[in-house]
Every structure is written in C-alpha cells, then in structure tokens.
Amino acid sequence: MKPDTTPSRPGRTALRPSPAPDAGSTGPAHTAEPVRTAEPARPRDALDRVTATVSELWRSLSEWWRSRPRRVRDVEFALVLTVLSFAEPLASVGARFGDLPTRHASVLSVALTLGQTLPLVLRTRLPAVCLALVGSSFAVHQASGCPQTFGSMGVYVALYSMGAYQGRLRRLLAVPSFAAYVAFCVVLDALGSPQRLDDYAVFGLALAAFWGAGAFVRARRADEAERRRLTALAATAAERGRLARELHDVVTHHVTAMVVQSDAAPFLTASPDRVTEALTAISGTGRRALAELRYLLGVLEATGESEPGQRAPARGDLRDLVEQTRMTGQPVELAEEGERPSLPIGAELAMYRLVQEALTNAVKYAAGHPTLVAVRYGRDRLDVEVTNEGPDDGRPDDDGPGPARESAHVSGGRGLGGLRERVGMLGGDFTAGPRPGGGFAVRAGIPTEGAS
C-alpha cells in the first residue's frame, strides 16, 4: 500500500508516511506522525494594519494643522501653491478654459500666476477681496492665452473660501460674482473661443459647486457651535438647580442648628462653661453659613445674565477664593500664565468650580500641606491644575483638628464626578488622581471657543 503523497492544504494537518518495518521485526508498526504546516499571514490583516497606520498619521497631521494660527496656515498654503505653480511636473497642469491660442510664457503670465496664488493669504480674513483678486487674475490669464499653470487652482480655493468664511453679505455678493462670470464668457466668445453655451454652463456649475461646498462646511460649523451653545445652556440650567439645592441645605441645616442652639442657651445659665460652648457653637455655625452663602451668591451671580461689567470678573473671584482658603490656615499659592482673555460664561464657571472643589478637598484631606493653583490662558484653551503635597489616600491627616479643619471653607460642588461631567460638556478633558511623589492633582483643559 502506497503512502498518500497528496500535498496538504495550508493550515491543515498532513500525515508524514512512516518508514516500512523491517522484515524480521515483530514489534508494532510505527504510526504516521502529524505535521502541522504554518498558516500564511492573511492579506486582510496586513491591509488593516496599513489602514490603521495611515489613519493615525492623517489624524496627527490634521490636529497639528488645526493647532496652528489661521493666518499662519493661510500664508503657508499660499506659499506652497506658489512654489508648486513653478515646479515640474505640476507647473503645466491646471485649468484651461476658452481654448484660445496659447502664447509663450512671459513676464505677464508669471505675474498673473502670482495673482492667482498670493492673494490666498486673505482667504479666511477677507474672502471677498481674495476672490476678486484671484478671479480677475484668472480671467485675464485665460483671455490672454497664457500657458496652463497649477496656480489656476487658486480660483477654486478662493470660491470655496468665499462660501466657508464670508460672514456678511454672502448672498448679495453672489450676484456680482455671477455677473463677472457672464462678462468673462462674453469676452472669451468675442476673442474667438470655440466653446459653446453648454460648455460655459458646465464650467459655471463647477465653479458654483466649490462655492456651495464651502457654504456646506460653514453650515456644519454653525450647527456645531449651536449645539455647543445649547449644551452649555443646559449645563448652566443644571448648575442653577444644584445651587438652589445647596442654598436649601444652608438654610435648613445651619439656620436650624443656630435656632436650636439659641433656644437651648437659656437653660444652660447655671453652667457658664456650657453657655460659652453653646455661644461658640452658634458663632461657628453662623460663620460657616455665611461662608457657604458667600460662595453660592458669588457663583450664582456668575451664572446669571447680567452684563460682564455688573459682576466680579473671574480673575478677582479666583484670587478671592484662594485668599479665603489661605485664611483658614491652608498654604495656597496662585500662579497665572499668559494674558487672560474674555472668557465665556461656561469656561469661566467651570474654572471657578474646579478650583473651589480642589481646594475644598485639599483643606479636608491635606490640611497644612502646600497647595498650588496654576492657570494657563491660551488662545483657544484654558488649562487649570491644582496640586498639593498631602496624603493621597483620601484620609485626613493624623494631626487632629486644627484651624483648617474647623474652618468655614465648604465644598461648592458635587465632587470630582460633577467636575468631570461639567468639563466634558464643554468638550474639555479632566483628570484627577494621586501624584507619583505623593499628594493629589486635579487637572482640566477647558476650550474657550463656543463655551458660552
């Protein structure tokens, strides 16, 4: 009987033929040994890895590009397009409309090419002026029969920018733009262009499509800004409800305690020491109530709809908050970096509540340990960090009650979970946890664009 020599499929178990037994052997015959062949790598796995790598690279490049100032991006884009317009092989690639006789390259063609690329530095600040300059250069370039150039792509970018960034008179400016295109077609026809009416119509629709694409992107951005505004309004409404609950707690708890202690004081006249203790307790309760009301009224004013000049600015509120905490005996330092811009209400309130809650936890669990409040004001982002050098296990110190432990500093929020929810609603990031060298850190990055 011959062994099976059929090639095994990949990934299957093949049988290796056993050697024939000796003629004089009386032992059992050897059985076939299984041999497993290695499975080849699937092409789909490699494709998935390449796709993931390309996606990650594209995301990194997009984030880097968006992080740069808009004016710098416009200048860099215009310079890159200018260089490509004179670099082979893209120099001779571009829009060609009218089919007029082509002339040799000249100083005029170079100047008209620059007129189609360099004005793009204004495409986000003055899109109408950018379109007028680029469109005029494009029309003269085509009517003069200049050689094709990659710089003609500038007219498409200018049209897109007109739809995406023009803030006022967008619909009104469409009328002179259409009239300019009609005049351009008339001039081409007068110069002997073989193009027909339907050719002019198709090219006009292509130009209008770039304008429409920009308008679509603008509408999407407006919808996103409106969604953020509504989200911030919902967060403000929730904050007002929470403040009302806290105010109710202050009235029902502290004031009731003061009334009970005052009513009991006349029955303690026989023991002067106990009267003194009762009066001290009443005084402490009243001070704590006043401190809570001061916090609540200050934040309630910041969440109201009063004019910015009618309420204390966030910088003053933050310094007052740090100073009040310092008066309890807690060593607190405030460090501010950068020039403070005009903050939206949502970002301003989130910053105040985060610092308030972090300082409250520092007083409760790290009394007497140095605490640092660091605020960095960026162009479109606000970074807040509160760190302390105390214990990080959530338990009070073993030093016993001290001035900070008996202070009037109270919590103004729902804890770290509430802070994470508030910052997340504004599109920011929040982290809190023990520090490697001991202590605790609370960090948050709050966007200042659209956080109204």
Q: If you write DSSP's letter for every residue of 274-312 in order, what string do you get?
A: HHHHHHHHHHHHHHHHHHHHHHHHHHHHHTS---GGGS-
Peptide bond into 3 cis (omega under 30): no
Cα 375 from chain centroid (whole Å): 18
Q: What average pLDDT score do residues 25-30 get?
A: 47
Helix (H, G, I), strand (E, B) or coil at 245: helix
Please indicate, yes or no, whether the overall pTM of this predicted structure exceeds 0.75.
no
Question: Is the pLDDT at 11 greater than 80, yes or no?
Answer: no
pLDDT given at position 327: 66
Q: What average pLDDT score do residues 365-394 get?
A: 84
Q: What average pLDDT score do residues 120-143 get?
A: 92
* 53 CB-near residues (< 8 Å, 6+ apart): none
Q: Report yes or no: 163 and 210 within 8 Å, Cβ to Cβ.
A: yes
| Confidence category of residue 8, pLDDT binned at 50, 70, 90 | very low
* 244 CB-near residues (< 8 Å, 6+ apart): none
**Angstrom distance (rounded) from CA 294 to CA 203:** 67
pLDDT given at position 256: 61
pLDDT given at position 306: 41
Question: Is the pLDDT at 208 greater than 80, yes or no?
Answer: yes
Helix (H, G, I), strand (E, B) or coil at 384: strand
pLDDT given at position 258: 67
> Which is it for the CA torsion 153, 157, 163, 168, positive or negative?
negative
More confident residue, 415 or 231: 231
Q: Report yes or no: 303 and 239 within 8 Å, Cβ to Cβ.
A: yes
Q: Name the average pLDDT for the chain.
A: 77
| Confidence category of residue 325, pLDDT binned at 50, 70, 90 | confident
The strand pairing partners of 16, in sequence order, are 33
| Confidence category of residue 408, pLDDT binned at 50, 70, 90 | very low
Q: What average pLDDT score do residues 119-140 get?
A: 93
Question: Is the pLDDT at 223 greater than 60, yes or no?
Answer: yes
Cα 48 from chain centroid (whole Å): 28
Helix (H, G, I), strand (E, B) or coil at 320: helix
**Angstrom distance (rounded) from CA 32 to CA 430:** 63
Number of H helices and E strands in the chain, helices first, is 12, 7
Q: What average pLDDT score do residues 433-443 get?
A: 89
pLDDT given at position 317: 66
Dig out the tokens for 425 from the structure.
Answer: 């609603």
pLDDT given at position 80: 92
Neighbour tally for 45: CB within 10 Å: 9
**Angstrom distance (rounded) from CA 403 to CA 337:** 31
| Confidence category of residue 371, pLDDT binned at 50, 70, 90 | very high
Question: Is the pLDDT at 402 greater than 70, yes or no?
Answer: no
pLDDT given at position 309: 40
**Angstrom distance (rounded) from CA 292 to CA 407:** 11
CA nearest neighbour of 278 among 293, 253, 261: 261
* 206 CB-near residues (< 8 Å, 6+ apart): none
**Angstrom distance (rounded) from CA 190 to CA 349:** 65
**Angstrom distance (rounded) from CA 310 to CA 172:** 39
**Angstrom distance (rounded) from CA 24 to CA 26:** 6
**Angstrom distance (rounded) from CA 391 to CA 397:** 7
Question: Is the pLDDT at 326 greater than 90, yes or no?
Answer: no
Dig out the tokens for 102 from the structure.
Answer: 């082509």
Q: Report yes or no: 247 and 297 within 8 Å, Cβ to Cβ.
A: no
Neighbour tally for 239: CB within 10 Å: 21
Residue located via tokens 């400016």? 173
More confident residue, 306 or 164: 164
pLDDT given at position 334: 92
The strand pairing partners of 334, in sequence order, are 373
Question: Is the pLDDT at 25 greater than 50, yes or no?
Answer: no
| Confidence category of residue 7, pLDDT binned at 50, 70, 90 | very low
Q: Provide the pairing of β-strand 332-337 with 33-36.
A: unpaired
**Angstrom distance (rounded) from CA 432 to CA 421:** 13
